[in-house]
Structure 1
Amino acid sequence: MRSCGVEDLKKIFSADFLLITSAKQLQRTVISPLFLFGSTLFVLGLVSLLTGHIVSHREWYAQLRRPWGFKQGHIRLESIDIWKSKFSDAYYGCSERSPHFKGAVSERKSNGYLLIAASGGLNQQRIGVTDAVVVARILNATLVLPDLDHHSFWKDESDFVDIFDADWFISSLSNDVKIVKRIPDKVMRRMERPPYTMRIPRKSAPEYYLEFVLPILLRRRAVQLTKFDYRLAYDIDDELQKLRCRVNYHALRFTKPIQDLGEKVVKRMQEMASRFVAVHLRFEPDMLAFSGCYYGGGDKERKELGEIRKRWENLPDLDAEGERRRGKCPLTPHEVGLMLRALGFGNDTYLYVASGEIYGGVNTLKPLRDLFRNFYTKEMLAEKELKPFLPHSDVFVTNNNGNMAKILAGHRRYAGHKRTIRPNAKKLSSLFKTRSQMHWETFVSRPDEMRPGRGDFHEFPYACVCPDQSPTWPPPISSPHIKPSTTSGAAEGGGVLLSVTAGCEEDGPAVGG
């Protein structure tokens, strides 16, 4: 299929625009059967554009325009670099231990053994493992290698040692926390009772662990914390935050087979293009079912996704259209492609698309592949899914705000503020609904407002990002210890629809806005 030129786009779009205008003029005179039929088709077109299964006038979206920054209704003079964050040379990751951070206590002198049962998907469990190390430090406990979740939706039987390099994990954190693979047999024999099991409330402060967990640990010598995900507060001491970073960005290293294959895939992409974009398309059936959203597939879609929803207990009934208006629905692959083209990525851009089984299969992916001819997936480059591949891309695009997206966004900030694009589905939803009623120039020029990032510590590791003191790169923010603003830019400056950084969130320094 030939690439569409600018003139082709203008002709096609002008025709569409004139048809809509003519329909409006007709409505003012007489309502004819022809108009009623045309109106019906128009409504169906609005529905179909949300599904991602149908490509309509693909050529219209091929017209490119360099994006310009908008802030609070004012156009900035400089254009935005869609490939590189302006903060990439001004900040760097810094998670080293400070001199006054005491070393780890020995196994014999520790207050007991802390066992962790992680919960959820792999990246949710990764957050649990990261926090488990910090909790062990708070309790002066010896951490037993965490158990991964085998019972959640995915029924993944992988153990910690199957995914992560356990020996590296233990040795790299030896100065912070004592970690063992299992409680020694002689210690187990001396225990009068098995480890005490308890579940901690989510986002508990360190003081909670000291008040409620430590006494039991001292009495029983072993405590197991179940469903351990997001059980530690985000706002804790900076030295403990740095420990979080050392765990997440350094100690949790993938096993050698995964690491080697990941490097091989990265090399293949870099041999084809000097830079590429990694897209996390979270458009699998389980994600859509859990979201409660509807994508225009009729009774077949409702039945299929409804059956999947039954696998979760106590999921509330949701209003699909209401969820879309609130920005809770993942963008379709088609919508992700339109967003990227509107931001200025040409159809010759190399994409690596990370995803599981896409709902709708090749038909759903076709619009995205038509917009970007250099389209690659893990099936095309390797036999297994590789999460280590994503941090190496020049630009990372995420289609949701799940655990993987949060962890990678934080990792990329820590690793030098690599460009990250996050769509604001709430704002984009209304834009996509009316795209056929506007010129391409209008579509692209909708506010590219830059606003301070917001989110938890895993997304914005502010304690682990330091300003470069080089005189050529003075930090643009006065203090490296200011925590990220949680104020919505949309609330302050009007509608944020597209952003070249975080889809509406600044991928600038995690230390502030």
Structure 2
Amino acid sequence: VCSTLKASGGAYRHDLWNSTNSKLFAACSNAGVNFPKADSKTQPDRYLLIATSGGLNQQRTGIIDAVVAAYILNATLVIPELDHTSFWKDSSNFSELFDADWFVKFLRNDIRVIKQLPNMGEKFVSPHTVRVPRKCTPKCYEGRVLPLLVKKRAVRLTKFDYRLSNMLDDDLQKLRCRVNYHALKFTDPIQEMGKLLVERMRMKSKHFIALHLRFEPDMLAFSGCYYGGGEKERKELGEIRKRWKSLHASNPDKVRRHGRCPLTPEEVGLMLRALGFGIDTHLYVASGDIYGGVETLAPLRALFPNFHSKETLVTKEELAPFVSFSSRMAALDYIVCDDSDVFVTNNNGNMAKILAGRRRYFGHKPTIRPNGKKLNPLFMKKDNMTWEEFASKVRTFQVGFMGQPNELRPGSGEFHENPTSCICQKSGLEVKTGGFSSPQNQTHEVDNKVENRTEKQPAEEDRELSELDYDLDIRKQVELKGTKIDSLPVLMGTDQAEVQVFFSD
């Protein structure tokens, strides 16, 4: 589906459902010929255990980095322990979320993985527990953890999230990619239900958008943003904010100016309509407990009445095996968002980052990330401009935030979001772009044997707060300033300003 805009300079066309130049790039995460294999480097009686932290996607980053840490330490990795005690309180263990046998088998050339710590001699050895600093480098692991491993034989690293440097050499970054995109595979029941959800979306429309919508009360309170709800909103979110004693007093105007306020559901809808997606577009929404509930979601539902979620696509009986487990429910959303034609998010959390990187790795599928620093001020002024002016500005501001190849400078942001070392430009093919371009690795082949597919501390607001899902039964229809939403023009142009380079927060 293409839309046409008559602009100064001629007619412009843009395919809403595909990325320009995506066919010129390929995944390239195979180990190099000089990358030592597990059987030649793993030391006997050296065992690494880790305890992950957070929700599904935060734990995923910990699992990925645990494999690399084990490789650095020449240690055997024991299948990671998942977090059962934090906000999410999900009792699922590793093998209930991921295919443990596949994980062990796929990584056998890189590291040795076992399912439980063996008895060592006549007595059981209790692992020595330690916590490494955030963004610990390979030298940091060799200096802090290796001596303990040699002495204690088994070391358990706690609260293992973001405990490995973002900046590693290419061989270790490629190992990260092999773990993330190939070794970590959801269990068959999760994959089958995810596939069913995607099939039911495809039955409704050839193309669909998946929206990961974060607008929970605790997230908004944590952000320090204000959304116009008056004293009631200030009081409610202020009470929630008191949970975090280390937070400073919020300055909502400053937070919004810096682009850190998540877009509201209505703002996401307006952004998508301005980009050219019509009222007939089907929308899959993955969300938690939306602040304001039905009333807050009503404008988005009016902009996109073909509004779907897990709960509307399958029966309660079909969803029953998953509904009591927040991580399994989040995994279902992960699968649908990954398989969507276009992925959109209103936040910069772990799921958004990991899926953005995955979609780059598997073909640069369109991934729309709001340019908050530009869009937040625009939404504040939207009532003082025509729709055409508003839509034109949205399209201009979103250049460089649409999931196109070469949008991100190599090394910028979190590696899971921007896996540059694992994406190669195919030999002999030239990328045609008017925007930011950077040298890419050259490749002649991609590994087809595996199944389907600036150092920086993560900001606290990027940490996931909830992945619980709730019924989104919305029945209200609204109008904007007396103009029916379906009468808004569907516009799209490419006469854009210079491509903006996106640096993740």
TM range (shorter): 0.7 to 0.9
Summarize the alignment of residues 465-480 of structure 1 with structure 2, pairs less than 5 Å apart. 465-469=423-427, 473-476=429-432, 479-480=439-440
Correspondence for 1:357: 289
Correspondence for 1:223: 155
Q: Is the 8 A contact 2:41 2:74 kept in 1?
A: no
Residue 286 (1) aligns with residue 286 (2): no
* Per-residue deviation, residues 197-230 of structure 1 (Å, max 9, x unmatched): 2211111211111122111111110111111111
> Of 108, 123, 143, which aligns to 1:189?
123
Deviates more, 1:317-326 or 1:432-441: 317-326
- Report the 3-state secondary structure (helix = DSSP H, G, I; strand = E; otherwise coil) of the residue aligned with 1:293: coil
* Per-residue deviation, residues 101-121 of structure 1 (Å, max 9, x unmatched): 221138983361111111122
* Per-residue deviation, residues 368-422 of structure 1 (Å, max 9, x unmatched): 0100121111211133531211110110001111111000000000010000100
Correspondence for 1:237: 169
Correspondence for 2:449: none
What is the TM-score normalised by the length of structure 2? 0.78
* Per-residue deviation, residues 38-69 of structure 1 (Å, max 9, x unmatched): xxxxxxxxxxxxxxxxxxxxxxxxxx975799
- CA separation in 2, counterparts of 1:327 and 1:478? 26
Residue 450 (1) aligns with residue 399 (2): yes
The answer for unaligned runs of 5 or more in structure 1 is 1-63, 487-497
- CA separation in 2, counterparts of 1:111 and 1:508? 47
Summarize the alignment of residues 76-95 of structure 1 with structure 2, pairs less than 5 Å apart. 78-95=12-29
> Of 248, 255, 262, which aligns to 1:316?
248
- CA separation in 2, counterparts of 1:163 and 1:270? 25
Q: Is the 8 A contact 2:14 2:492 kept in 1?
A: no
- Give 1:500 shift: 9.3
Correspondence for 1:431: 378
- Give 1:426 shift: 2.1
AA aligned to 1:249 is Y
Correspondence for 2:462: none
Correspondence for 1:125: 59
Identity of aligned pairs, percent?
Answer: 55
**Cα pair distance change 1:118/1:283, threshold 3 Å:** same
- CA separation in 1, counterparts of 2:73 and 2:498? 36
AA aligned to 1:437 is N
AA aligned to 1:467 is Q
Correspondence for 2:350: 403
Correspondence for 1:19: none
Correspondence for 1:460: 418
Deviates more, 1:338-347 or 1:151-160: 151-160
- Report the 3-state secondary structure (helix = DSSP H, G, I; strand = E; otherwise coil) of the residue aligned with 1:405: helix
The answer for unaligned runs of 5 or more in structure 2 is 324-328, 401-406, 443-453, 457-490
- Give 1:180 shift: 1.1
Correspondence for 1:47: none
Deviates more, 1:355-364 or 1:339-348: 355-364
Matched length: 426
AA aligned to 1:325 is R
**Cα pair distance change 1:68/1:228, threshold 3 Å:** farther
**Cα pair distance change 1:437/1:200, threshold 3 Å:** same
- Report the 3-state secondary structure (helix = DSSP H, G, I; strand = E; otherwise coil) of the residue aligned with 2:155: strand
- CA separation in 2, counterparts of 1:183 and 1:271? 47
- CA separation in 2, counterparts of 1:151 and 1:506? 44
**Cα pair distance change 1:504/1:283, threshold 3 Å:** farther
Q: Is the 8 A contact 1:327 1:427 kept in 2?
A: yes
Q: Is the 8 A contact 1:67 1:80 kept in 2?
A: no
AA aligned to 1:83 is W
Correspondence for 1:150: 84
- Report the 3-state secondary structure (helix = DSSP H, G, I; strand = E; otherwise coil) of the residue aligned with 2:177: helix
Q: Is the 8 A contact 2:48 2:77 kept in 1?
A: yes
- CA separation in 1, counterparts of 2:3 and 2:388? 8
Which has the larger Rg?
1
AA aligned to 1:464 is C
- CA separation in 2, counterparts of 1:188 and 1:301? 62
AA aligned to 1:427 is K
- CA separation in 2, counterparts of 1:475 and 1:346? 30
Q: Is the 8 A contact 1:242 1:464 kept in 2?
A: yes
- Give 1:246 shift: 0.7
- Give 1:75 shift: 8.1
AA aligned to 2:387 is W
Q: Is the 8 A contact 1:168 1:253 kept in 2?
A: yes
Cα RMSD for the two superposed structures: 3.2
> Of 205, 208, 219, which aligns to 2:140?
208
Correspondence for 1:10: none
- CA separation in 1, counterparts of 2:492 and 2:397? 4
Q: Is the 8 A contact 2:5 2:12 kept in 1?
A: no
Correspondence for 2:111: 177
Q: Is the 8 A contact 2:42 2:74 kept in 1?
A: no
